[in-house]
Amino acid sequence: MSVPSYSILCTQCDYRSSSNATNGQYYYKDDEGQFNLERQLGWCNGCQSITAIEDFGKTSKAASEIRSKLELISLKTGTVWANILNVLFKSRREWLDSTIETINSYAKYIELAKARTGQERCLKCSSYVVVPYKPTKERGDLDVHGFMYHGERNTDFEHPGCGGMFYEKADNVRLHGKFEPRFYTTEGVFIESCLEKTKY
Ligand SMILES: [Zn+2]
Ligand SMILES: [Zn+2]
């Protein structure tokens, strides 16, 4: 797997971070199973770095996903004929099961976001002292062409404790990496990654 990326650098010091800090597969795990963990880039005071932090700002996207899945379900279950097909075809039942699971996963995210908005944590060190990295992108151009970022741009996001400003610069190489799934409690605390699990 390879994804385009850019570096986040500081105008005053040699700090360096990467847009790919949020790449990979992140899941919450609870008694019933696992569901998707939405994350974003953020400044973490514990790590003193821009890294992946929890993101509870995607509830309207999750809600619209639920609505469209429910519409599909009502299409596929709304008539006697549709239900006869459901009895006859295993693939239709499997589709229903997996769609219901997806809806459940979005619903859990919305529930969690309701309970924990404002308590976003760093997904590396679990610190609550985090700020989403959402700078105004100023002066310059950083775009994806041909599966790579090109160019560079300044931001209005200050490097905390340094006084320099972050700027973003396209990486010359594409990152190749295999991302092992990472699991967290619904409190945002790291449990395990499959890679580490197989190591021991
Ligand atoms: Zn700096
Ligand atoms: Zn941290």
**Which ligand has the shortest distance to the CA of 48?**
2
* 18 vs 8: CA distance, rounded Å: 6
Indicate yes or no: pTM above 0.75: yes
Arithmetic mean of pLDDT, 157-184: 88
Q: List Cα–Cα distances, 115 to 112, 178, 196, in angstroms.
A: 5, 32, 30
The answer to whether 176 and 184 have CB atoms below 8 angstroms apart is no
The answer to whether 128 and 117 have CB atoms below 8 angstroms apart is no
| Predicted pLDDT at 175 | 67
Ligand 2: distance of its center to the CA of 17 in Å? 13
* 102 vs 96: CA distance, rounded Å: 10
Ligand 2: distance of its center to the CA of 50 in Å? 8
Every domain of the chain and the residues it spans: 2-199
| Predicted pLDDT at 198 | 44
Surrounding residues of ion ligand 1, Cβ less than 5 A: 10, 12-13, 15, 159, 162, 164
Instruction: Assign 140 to helix, strand or coil.
Output: strand
Arithmetic mean of pLDDT, 145-173: 91
pLDDT tens string 50-61: 999 999 999 999
pLDDT tens string 64-73: 999 999 999 9
Sheet strand arrangement including 190-193: 33-36, 26-30, 182-184, 190-193
